[in-house]
Amino acid sequence: MKEIRWHGRGGQGGFTASRLLGIAASVHGGKHALAFPSFGPERRGAPVLAFTKIDDSKIHDRSEVQESDYVVVMDETLITPGFEKGIRLGACILVNTENIEKYRETLKGFDLRGIDATSLAMEVLGRPITNTAMYGALAAASGLVSLDAALASIRTEMKPKLAELNTKIVERAFDLIINN
């Protein structure tokens, strides 16, 4: 089983991205998946977590992710002391940042990848909603779902106009990770 942990802030779409990944894996990829949030009465801007589990067989363990294989950070200010707890050594950590190098020392032992998802979202959406950019980056870095499955999940779940913009973001983020 592969376990993914999503770090975001309320309003950034972390749970939506987690759910899109689950849909891509299960509906469009022939695997089994669970996606679920972990938050209470938080408001817009408060730190939130979401999780996705993907496996070739039915998933019976519905508990919170304990040892992440992939971690997606939609807001780099969420990387604080102790952040790495619950992440497998060697796991891929994708960070929405202009400068991934500043994390190399504090996050040793992990496969760090950075993408400026905020700029990409601003360019395409006109708003700093980074979830689909980070979703596309994860699809590329992990191979958990194909680009086609990722795009299909967006077309399945979003209204046509939003789907059109978000598929552009996913494609561009996917290409940025693949070509870096």
Per-residue pLDDT of the chain (180 residues; tens, 9 = 90+): 999 999 999 888 999 999 999 999 999 999 999 999 886 666 778 889 999 999 999 999 887 788 999 999 999 999 999 999 999 999 999 999 999 999 999 999 999 999 999 999 999 999 999 999 999 999 999 999 999 999 999 999 999 999 999 999 999 999 999 998
What was the pLDDT predicted at 40?
63
What was the pLDDT predicted at 119?
97
Helices marked H in the chain: 14-26, 117-125, 131-142, 147-157, 160-178
Residue 12, phi then psi, degrees to nearest 5: -85, -10
Whether 34 contacts 59, CB under 8 Å: yes
What was the pLDDT predicted at 61?
84
What was the pLDDT predicted at 64?
79
Structure tokens at 34: 């669970």
What was the pLDDT predicted at 42?
60
What was the pLDDT predicted at 39?
67
What was the pLDDT predicted at 180?
80
Question: CA-based angle 123:148:161, to the nearest 5?
Answer: 45
- Which domain CATH number covers 14? 3.40.920.10
State whether residue 32 is helix, strand or coil.
Answer: strand
Instruction: State the residue range of the domain holding 147.
Output: 2-178
Residue 40, phi then psi, degrees to nearest 5: -110, -130
CA 135 – CA 133 distance, rounded (Å): 5
CA 169 – CA 120 distance, rounded (Å): 7
17 secondary structure, DSSP code: H
Supply the pTM of this predicted model: 0.94
Instruction: Provide CB contacts within 8 A for 5, sequence distance 6+.
Output: 49, 50, 51, 65, 68, 70, 71, 72, 86, 87
Task: Give strand pairing partners of 68.
Answer: 87
Domain count along the chain: 1
Task: Give strand pairing partners of 48.
Answer: 8
